[in-house]
Chains A and B, each alone.
Chain A
Amino acid sequence: MAFDAHKECMSTLGDDALLVAFAGGDAGAARELTQRLAPRVFSHAVRMLGGDRAEAEDVAQEALLRLWRAAPGWREGEAKVTTWLYRVTANLCIDRMRKRRGGPDLDSVPEPVDEAPSAAEEMQNAARAEALQGALNQLPDRQRQAVILRHIEGMSNPEIAQIMDIGPRAVESLTARGKRALEALLSGRRAELGYEDDD
Chain B
Amino acid sequence: MKTMTERKDDIDLDLFFAAAREDDPAPSTDFMARMEAQALAALPDPAPRRSLWSHLMSAVGGWPGVAGLAAACAAGVWIGVVSPDGINTLFLLQDNALGTIGVDPLSGFDLAMMEG
Contacts and interface: CB of A to CB of B under 8 A. Distances in A.
Contacts of A27: 40, 43
A138 interface: no
Given A186-B16, A190-B11, A56 B44 contact: no
Contacts of B19: 125-126, 128-129, 132
A94 to B, nearest CB: 18
Interface residues of B, number: 32
Contact of B21 (A33, A69, A152): A152
Given A24-B47, A39-B27, A132-B20, A34 B39 contact: yes
Given A27-B43, A43-B25, A43-B26, A151 B17 contact: yes
A86 interface: no
B15 to A, nearest CB: 6
Contacts of B23: 125-126, 129-130
Contacts, number: 115
Interface of A is mostly: helix
Contacts of B43: 22, 25-27, 30, 68
Nearest to A69: B42
Contacts of B15: 128
A42 B31 contact: yes
A22 to B, nearest CB: 7
Contacts of A53: 25
B36 interface: yes
Given A38-B35, A57-B27, 12 more contacts: A22-B39, A30-B40, A30-B42, A35-B36, A39-B27, A43-B27, A68-B38, A128-B19, A132-B17, A151-B13, A154-B21, A199-B1
Interface of B: 1-2, 9, 11, 13, 15-27, 31-32, 34-36, 38-40, 42-47
11 contacts: A26-B46, A30-B43, A33-B39, A39-B26, A56-B25, A69-B42, A128-B15, A128-B16, A129-B20, A129-B22, A190-B11
